[in-house]
Amino acid sequence: MSRLQSMWDWYDSQGSLGNLVRCRTVQFSGLFEAQIAEAIGLKEALSWVGTQDIPDVLIEMDAKNVADCFHSLHQTCLRWAF
C-alpha cells in the first residue's frame, strides 16, 4: 500500500471532573474496507498515544471485531497487521 495522505487536528479540553481530555481526529484519503479503516485508525491512535505523556488512556472505537482482534493473538488478525 502506498503512503496514506492524511490531515489531523488535536483538541485539548477539560472534562466534567476537571480531567484533561485530549483527542485527535485524522482524515485519510482513499477507499478501504471498514475493518481495514478501523484497524488503520487504531494503529494511528496507538502511535499518537505513544508520543504523548498521558498516564491513563481510553481509546473508543466502533469496530468490535478489530478491538477483539487487538486483544487476541488470533491468526485471522494477521491480514490487518502493518
Per-residue pLDDT tens digits for 30-77: 888 888 888 888 888 888 888 887 778 878 778 888 888 887 765 566
Residue 5 has pLDDT above 60, yes or no: no
Residue 1: pLDDT band (50, 70, 90) is very low
Residue 4 has pLDDT above 50, yes or no: no
- The model's pTM: 0.64
- Alpha-carbon distance values, 12 to 2, 21, 31, 64, 65 (Å): 31, 6, 29, 26, 29
- Residue 63 is predicted with a pLDDT of 84
Residue 15 has pLDDT above 50, yes or no: yes
